[in-house]
Amino acid sequence: MSGASSWSFREEDAARIGALLNGLLREANARTALLVDRSGQMLATVGEAPRFDPVAFASLTAADFSANDQLARMLGENEFGALFHQGEKDSLYLADVARRVILVVLFDNRTTLGLVKLRVRGVVEALTAVFTAMFSRDAAGERGRGMDTGFMGEAEDEIDKLFGT
């Protein structure tokens, strides 16, 4: 067992992932694609800027996916690899990536669920490869770049200021 670990998301990871998600939006004719990690943190947003609070959205997405994961297990399934939430105008399609990240596609009636599903399938495979490489890089200790002592000092000062001394 271990203590908390951190992982890093580099500029080059973001560029590779951004290209994949932009391609998905184009091909699926969807509005926005978001990547959220399973602990509830937003990793990336591509496409139309969301009109909602992205931080709150990420925490609820992770909770939603985790709760459904447990429901799947109760049925004897390993997981529900994807979820669909249908609205009157806007709908969400959520898919698991490498068991660590959730891809969320926001779309409206300019496209169809079938097309979104179809395009997501291919992108999930490509994203899985990217994230698997990222996680093995961090696990191998290649991260190397934690936050420096200057950051720590300033962050402590901000904590004292914001939370009182």
Residues binding other proteins (CB under 8 A): 1-11, 13-15, 37-41, 43-44, 53, 55-56, 59-60, 62-63, 66-67, 70, 145-152, 154-156, 158-160, 162-165
Distance CA 151, CA 17 (A): 27
Q: Which of helix, strand or coil describes residue 67?
A: helix
Comparing CB distances to other proteins, the nearer of 71 and 113 is: 71
The nearest distance, CB 69 to other proteins, in angstroms, is: 8
Shorter beta-carbon distance to other proteins: residue 70 or 109: 70
> Minimum Å distance from CB 29 to other proteins?
26
CA-based Rg of the chain, rounded to a whole angstrom?
18
CB of 109 to other proteins, least distance (A): 28
Classify strands 101-107 and 82-85 as parallel, antiparallel or unpaired: unpaired
Question: How far, CA to CA in Å, does 11 sit from each of 14, 16, 37, 39, 149?
Answer: 5, 9, 17, 21, 22
Q: Which is nearer to other proteins, 48 or 53 (CB)?
A: 53
